[in-house]
Amino acid sequence: MTYCLGIFLERGLLLASDSRTNAGVDQIATVSKLAVFATPDERLMTVLSAGNLATTQAVISALRQAYGSGDMQRDLALSSSLFDAAQKIGDCLRDVLAREASFVHPYGDPSASFLLGGQIRGEERRLFQIYSAGNFMEASERTPFLQIGETKYGKPILDRLLRHDTSLEEAARLTLLSFDATMRSNLSVGAPIDLMLYESGSLEARRMRSFDEGDTYLTRLREEYASGLTRLVDALPVPEL
């Protein structure tokens, strides 16, 4: 299991993922689920992945191998738009599943999903969710965040507080609280948390950070949020029963 989050904001994008992967309670490992594809001053695309690890790694590896190769079907460097890039990722996912799914089914679910966020010079920043079928949807001002993987525990705080005009910095704080809630409720989601803030028009991955389990800021955020929430609940009126 994993948790990946993409947020479509007025000033840019936020993309974040956990790093835990496990095949059982006694076999836990970490792997990065955030991949960056970039051409300086021309395009910046970030892909987050969830689902069967072999499937997601096959797709990401195929895309990395094709980047800059001139392969019209898979080369994200040739994508004329983020929409075109989403189509390439969906097509690559279909190819991997067509080749591998029948062999994997007896042992588990081969499906995978992706988030694609970024910007190509000449168009606005965009954010897509790519389903296991290879089709996809796009985020908008009315749908400012997209999630894949273990989504339910981290969703309530985003529903309550996140808006399209939320600043990148405030969105980062809400994102880490969203991940903290998810990690508390599901042990298959865990640190390090890889987080990127993308500023519209920059075409660069300038603001990236990985938060380990014992990260000083993450620990402080958890403690102060728990303390503040306790004070808030204590101050609420008691129901009349």
Give the class (CATH, top level) of 3-232. alpha beta
First to last CA, the chain: 41
In this structure, the chain runs to a length of: 241
pLDDT in tens, the chain (241 residues): 799 999 999 999 999 999 987 645 555 677 899 999 999 999 999 999 999 999 999 999 999 999 999 999 999 999 999 999 999 999 999 999 999 999 999 999 999 999 999 999 999 999 999 999 999 999 999 999 999 999 999 999 999 999 999 999 999 999 999 999 999 999 889 999 999 999 999 999 999 999 999 999 999 999 999 999 999 999 999 999 9
Q: Contact 10/186 with Cβ under 8 angstroms?
A: no
| pTM for the structure as a whole | 0.95
Question: On the CB side of 77, how many CA atoms lie within 13 Å of its CA?
Answer: 14
Strand, coil or helix: what is 143?
A: coil
Q: Contact 114/130 with Cβ under 8 angstroms?
A: yes
- Per-domain residue ranges for the chain? 3-232
Angstrom distance (rounded) from CA 157 to CA 222: 14
